[in-house]
Amino acid sequence: MPNEYQLMKDGALCQDEWIYADEEVGLSDAPSIISLSRLKAEADVLRARNAKLGVQLLADGNGKTKLGEDVQELEPYLDMLSLVSIAFPTYRNGRGFSAARVLREQFNFDGELRASGEVLHDQWAMMRRCGITAFELAPSVSLETFSDAMGELTDAYQPAADDQRGALWQRHK
């Protein structure tokens, strides 16, 4: 997303090597995040490109549909993708939590999964549990705030896309 953000990745603030590519312009050799429609339209050309490729999955209709984009549509292109940026248009729209788990658990996607858009304090830990490893955060968020939020709940009741098994299973190891 073209908004100003700082990137929190694998628990550290870092320089973002990725750019969100302009839809109208040809791709550079920099690692580029494109739209799903562009990915579908230019897949053959993009497959031959010798640089890292990412896609952003929209969770709202962008004015076109009621639902936004379907994660299932990414399946044929996964071998080309090093990153999926999952959009959370508002914190109320939790569709991306499911998209993340499907990518990790059903498609076994092992590239970067990042949360973009409205990525708020009280959702970071849940996003991580669903397999998201990178977060586009507001510039005001400190590393300490982020780490504290991640540690608020030590255990979980249920399994998800991370390595916690959940109390219902863990009690009988």
Q: Which of 123, 136, 137, 141 contacts another protein by CB under 8 A? A: 123
Site string for another protein, 19-58 (x = CB under 8 A): ----------------------------------------
Interface with another protein includes 67 (CB under 8 A)? yes
152 near another protein (CB under 8 A): yes
Q: Counting contacts by CB under 8 A, is residue 172 touching another protein?
A: yes
Tokens for 158, please give them.
Answer: 């249920």
For CA atoms 96, 133, 40, 4, the dihedral sign is positive
157 binds another protein (CB under 8 A): yes
Name the residues that contact another protein, by CB under 8 A. 60-61, 66-67, 70-71, 91-95, 97-99, 101-102, 105-106, 120, 122-123, 125-127, 129-130, 152-160, 166-172
